[in-house]
Amino acid sequence: MADLDDGEDGNDFFRSFADVPLNPPEKRDMCSRCKRPLAVCLCAHFPSHFLQISTTIHVLQHPREESRLLTTVPLLEACLPPDKIVIRRGRRFHKNDWPDLHELLNKPTTLLLYPGPTAENIKTLGEPPLGENYDIIVLDGTWRQAKDIFHNNPFLCQARQVQLEHDHISEYVIRTQPNSKSLCTVEAIALSLSILEKNEEIAEILIRPLRALCKIQLEHGAVVHFNKENEDEIMLRAKRQERSHRKKMGGLSEKER
């Protein structure tokens, strides 16, 4: 507190605080499930019950991604059972600090979802051995941050590396993607699970909250971010994707068919 001037009345000094509100500004009411303000709650877009899956998702999240306002991992947490999505945060995952993660790499059914010249197409994987299920490790962050995690943790190469070969246009339009094949974390996991679990509905169920999140943000002033490749090609593929989705839902007109 600043010292009083020699001629200043102490009572006048403290009286000057009389009009300062004693209570802090009221915070917006928050949803306990999606952790968002009630006015932009996403719970109506989540499944009524956790999806029942056999695969376990292990997310290695870059520390900076957790602090981002619009990170997508919380959408997964709202849709999947707690024991089926494990989140570990850090840049380097040393064995002394993360022994369970290193032990996981010894299992032949552990997959690393990360593109590369030796990565297998996830669609070509067979069934896991009887009585066992797949564990899939996913790196969460920007592409630069994901590369940082991959190169700083060489033990990850012990896992069977797989990648998605797809024609899905990312619906995470409020953040810039490196290219037209890039997906955000929730999309990559959604498509992977739909393949591993042999259930196409999983992808739609998990991507639906992301679609709603982007719609809400755009309605509140966010702008569409195109990726760094040819925008005309992206828009054409997006239209085909939308048409295919509408066809599945029975919403195409005779002319469109």
**For residues 237 and 229, what is the distance between their CA atoms, to the nearest angstrom?**
13
Collapse the DSSP code of 21 into the 3-class scheme (helix H, G, I; strand E, B; otherwise coil) and give the result.
coil
**pLDDT tens-digit series, residues 176-228:** 777 777 899 999 999 999 999 999 999 999 999 999 999 998 888 877 776 65
Query: Is residue 244's pLDDT more than 50?
Result: yes
Q: Which residues contact 106 (CB under 8 A, 6 or more apart)?
A: 158
pLDDT at 199: 96
Query: Is residue 172's pLDDT more than 70?
Result: yes
**pLDDT tens-digit series, residues 50-78:** 999 999 999 999 998 876 667 889 899 99
Q: How confident is the model at residue 94 (pLDDT cuts 50, 70, 90)?
A: very high
Query: Is residue 9's pLDDT more than 60?
Result: no
Query: Is residue 3's pLDDT more than 50?
Result: no
Instruction: Note the pTM of the prediction, 2 decimals.
Output: 0.76
Count the residues in the chain.
257
H or E element in which residue 243 lies: helix 231-248
Query: Is residue 146's pLDDT more than 80?
Result: yes
